Structure 1
Amino acid sequence: MAKLNLKTGKSTNYKIRQSLTFSESFKREKVEDILNKRISISEFCKLWSISTTSVYRWIYQYSPNHKKGTKMVVQQESEAAKTQELLKRVAELERILGQKQMEIDYQSKLIEIASKELDIDLKKSFKLTL
């Protein structure tokens, strides 16, 4: 197994990897374990010395909910809570904006009525120059 390298004088060890073959029932069982979060994909790969590509291939093949090409949107609870908080904030700001617009409309109408009553154009008389 050890081979002597003539240039450096050091021996090199080569490890021959054994080919593993798993039964379909084993694959189905392990896919179920992974999907039910009894074991993580990385732990499973280390335990059985297989690649993550193989595990994902099993998941695509044996899981009814995880087919290749489907996209899942994963949103953490904190992100969902943050989104709800921002939506509430937007609604509150829209409400305040609506109130301010009503105040402006009210004041404009009041100036218009006062101008008619006093027979003076208050908008021209009291224009501020900045």
Structure 2
Amino acid sequence: MKANVKLISKHRKYSEELKKSIVNDFESGKFSVPQLERLHNISNQSIYNWIYKYSRSNERGQRILEMKDSSTEKLKALEQRIKELEQTVGKKQIQIDYLEKMIDIAKTDLDIDIKKNSNTPQSSGSATTRRK
């Protein structure tokens, strides 16, 4: 006699809230699709389907391309580069201010005009010499 056995479905069902939460994580740039796949143990095809279904920016028929590095990592690297460049510009500005102050001191205290006078005529170069 066979027992009354119910087959368990192999398909998992996910709540709408979970699907939308995963799509929001993807759209905000927190996670890439492969990261979400590993994090939630959900196939990437399911995640892409949810993105097409629930996303405000992606539509079916448009391909979603992702780089290996997540966009947040790239953004952090670019922000760090901007910070370094701003520091370099700041240092250069301090040097310029220092040199301008030294020029002013040389002019007032030592009576030396380091800046080129705009009225000074251009030099004609060295005179040509004749060969013997």
TM class, shorter-length: 0.3 to 0.5
Bigger fraction of residues in helix: 1
Bigger fraction of residues in strand: 1
Q: TM-score, normalised by structure 2?
A: 0.42
> Which structure is larger by alpha-carbon Rg, 1 or 2?
1
Higher-RCO chain (CA-CA 8 Å, sequence separation at least 6) = 2
